[in-house]
């Protein structure tokens, strides 16, 4: 049910003008009445005499006709006033309320915020502005369609409104962005409300017989500490939200001045990324993978690298920026094509090439076709390619689509590995139904292998499970001989890490292979 929280300035001005006009009309009518009483006006008598003198004019009938037209005019005017009010209400509704969620839109939300700030200034209280942005909502529209996406936005808005007090305001700024406005008598009131808003993420949504989880990032700015105008507070809360999205998804961050500096640096990185995409200034490195049984190099993992002004940008940061700016597919395709081209120089017939694919790229509808096209371009044998996916790609929300794509890749002869296994959203129920080839154990377990009996037991359990499911197991992050020997003792099939070999550029890799000692 839509609620109208407060009047706009225009509504207040119209109401005040109507009151003034009514007052002036009453005063003028009273003055004219007094003048009429004080002067001897024989209007009625003269009208009576005129009607008697002109009896043949049918004055009674003429008077009645004028009366009927007058009553009809009053009725007509009354009906048109009702139509005008309905029209004004409809125009106001479309001008101030979002038609999808039935919540106040950006214009009305900022109007409400401005009035709340005026009231807070008079009363000496605080106002909290919460900027909320849904994570990966584009995937929902792409998967389920915009109609279902709009329904999800409406349900989320209702849950958000029910999580706050009746006196608070929830608005939709547009797209997948929401604004929550709180009037606070003290800062102690804020924490419980933020917890209730945060808990909405634990509730699932039912779409096409699937239970969908919806996460969001949120930022909070507080008047008068973070700004004293609606524009300043909205900007501060937006910066805090963006900081949450980049660093701690699913959390609600309070604004601090240092966030603005980090955001500026982030914008600079995004600008540099666009330049790097245009000029293709990325480069690839390749890390060897060792078979613990034959002690031979059985493959390489292709790793994208980006140097900016002589400084290496962390790969996780590169991927995050690419996802936020919508360049994931472009960078992923470049890395795939470059890796297949480079592999012609060093990959042997009995070795495989692992290429990392981000979940967002994998979820593209034409992903399998893109892989086929890349293989065809370089006439690369499909059985030598390994597509590496993180566990986040195996989400329940589009699991059927994921299974279809993995099955299609396997039918082409391409291997599929689950990267960083054990630290994401592991679900054994999904693994047993997926035709994957390999599980890559995250380096967190490998690093703790020597000193932690629990981690040794966990890896041993994973290896046993993998053997029963006909999966290969590869341990990542091997950095010592002791770790390698323990993995071999536990029955791990393969390993990669700095102890086996660091990521190497194509030039150095080819030089190493050309040397008498080999790699």
Return the HEC string of 94-150.
HHHECCCCCCECHHHHHHHHHHHHHHHHHHCCEEEEEEEEECCHHHHHHHHCHHHHH
Q: What is the dihedral of CA 483, 506, 392, 314, to 10 degrees?
A: 90
Residues 497 and 147: their CA atoms lie apart, in Å, by 47
What are 41's strand-pairing partners?
Answer: none
Collapsing DSSP to helix, strand or coil, 212 comes out as: strand
Say which CATH class 270-514 falls into: alpha beta
Q: What is the spatial distance between Cα 434 and Cα 138, in angstroms, rounded to a whole number? A: 25
DSSP 140-163: HHHHH-HHHHHHHHHHHHHHHHHT
**Please, is 305 exposed, middle or buried when counting C-beta atoms within 10 Å of its C-beta (0-12, 13-18, 19+)?**
middle
Q: Around Cβ 159, how many Cβ atoms within 10 Å?
A: 16
> Could you tell me the two tokens for 195?
């917890």
Report how far residue 321's alpha carbon sits from residue 190's, in angstroms, rounded to the nearest whole number.
31
CA dihedral angle for residue 368, residue 374, residue 375, residue 378, rounded to 10 degrees: 180
CA–CA dist 356, 387 (Å, integer): 6
Write down the domain spans for the chain: 106-255, 270-514
Q: Which of 455, 370, 470 is nearest to 412 (CA)?
A: 370
| Planar angle of CA 310, 313, 317, nearest 5 degrees | 165
What's the CA dihedral at 267, 271, 277, 282 to 10 degrees?
Answer: -70
Q: CATH assignment of 106-255? A: 3.30.70.270
In a structure prediction context, what are the per-residue pLDDT tens digits for the chain, which is 519 residues long? 455 456 666 667 777 887 888 888 888 888 888 887 777 666 667 777 776 676 666 666 777 788 888 888 888 888 878 877 777 666 666 667 878 888 888 888 888 899 999 999 999 899 999 999 998 788 787 777 888 888 888 889 899 988 988 889 999 988 889 999 999 988 889 999 999 999 888 888 887 777 778 889 999 999 999 998 999 999 999 999 988 887 766 788 999 988 888 888 888 888 999 899 888 889 999 999 999 999 999 999 999 999 988 889 888 888 888 887 888 889 999 999 999 999 999 999 999 999 999 888 888 889 999 999 999 999 999 999 999 998 777 765 566 788 899 999 999 999 999 988 876 555 566 677 788 899 998 888 888 888 888 888 888 888 888 888 889 999 999 999 999 999 999 999 999 999 999 999 999 999 888 776 555
pTM confidence score: 0.63
Within a 13 Å sphere around the CA of 184, how many CA atoms are in the beta-carbon half? 21
């Amino acid at each position: 049910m839509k609620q109208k929280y407060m009047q706009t300035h225009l509504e207040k001005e119209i109401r005040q003008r109507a009151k003034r006009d009514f007052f002036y009309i009453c005063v003028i009518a009273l003055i004219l009445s007094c003048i009429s009483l004080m002067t001897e006006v024989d209007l009625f008598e003269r009208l009576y005499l005129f009607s008697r003198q002109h009896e043949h004019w049918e004055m009674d009938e003429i008077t009645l006709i004028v009366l009927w037209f007058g009553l009809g005019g009053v009725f007509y005017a009354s009906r048109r006033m009702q139509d005008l009010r309905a029209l004004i209400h409809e125009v106001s509704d479309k001008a101030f309320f979002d038609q999808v969620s039935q919540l106040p839109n950006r214009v009305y939300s900022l109007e409400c915020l401005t009035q709340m700030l005026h009231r807070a200034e008079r009363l000496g209280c605080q106002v909290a502005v919460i900027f909320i942005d849904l994570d990966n909502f584009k995937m929902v529209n792409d998967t389920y369609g915009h109609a279902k996406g709009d329904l999800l936005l409406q349900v989320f808005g209702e849950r958000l409104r029910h999580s706050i007090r009746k006196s608070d305001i929830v608005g939709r700024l547009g797209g997948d962005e929401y604004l929550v406005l709180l009037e606070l008598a003290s800062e102690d009131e804020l924490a419980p409300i933020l917890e209730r808003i945060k808990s909405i993420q634990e509730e699932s949504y039912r779409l096409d017989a699937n239970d969908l989880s919806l996460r969001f990032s949120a930022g909070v700015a507080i008047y008068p500490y973070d700004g004293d105008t609606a524009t300043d507070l909205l900007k501060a809360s937006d910066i805090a939200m963006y900081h949450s999205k980049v660093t701690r998804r699913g959390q609600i961050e309070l604004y601090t001045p240092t966030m603005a500096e980090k955001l500026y640096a982030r914008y600079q990185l995004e600008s540099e990324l666009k330049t790097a995409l245009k000029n293709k200034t990325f480069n690839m490195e390749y890390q060897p993978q060792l078979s613990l049984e034959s002690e031979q190099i059985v493959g390489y993992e292709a790793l994208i690298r980006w140097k900016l002004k002589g400084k290496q940008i962390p790969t996780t940061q590169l991927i995050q920026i690419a996802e936020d700016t919508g360049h994931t597919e472009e960078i992923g395709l470049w890395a795939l094509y470059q890796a297949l081209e480079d592999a012609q120089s060093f990959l042997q017939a009995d070795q495989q090439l692992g290429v990392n694919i981000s979940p967002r790229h994998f979820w593209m509808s034409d992903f399998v076709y893109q892989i086929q096209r890349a293989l065809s371009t370089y006439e690369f044998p499909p059985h030598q390619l390994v597509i590496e996916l993180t566990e986040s790609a195996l989400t329940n929300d589009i699991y059927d689509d994921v299974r279809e794509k993995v099955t299609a890749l396997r039918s082409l002869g391409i291997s599929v590995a689950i990267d960083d296994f054990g630290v994401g959203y592991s679900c054994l129920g999904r693994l047993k139904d997926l035709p994957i080839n390999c599980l890559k154990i995250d380096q967190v377990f490998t690093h703790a292998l020597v000193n932690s009996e629990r981690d040794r037991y966990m890896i041993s359990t994973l290896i046993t499970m993998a053997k029963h499911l006909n999966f290969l197991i590869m341990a990542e992050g091997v950095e010592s001989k002791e770790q390698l020997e323990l993995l071999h003792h536990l029955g791990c099939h393969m390993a990669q890490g700095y102890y086996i070999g660091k990521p190497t550029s194509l030039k150095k890799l080819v030089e190493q292979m050309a040397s008498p000692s080999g790699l």
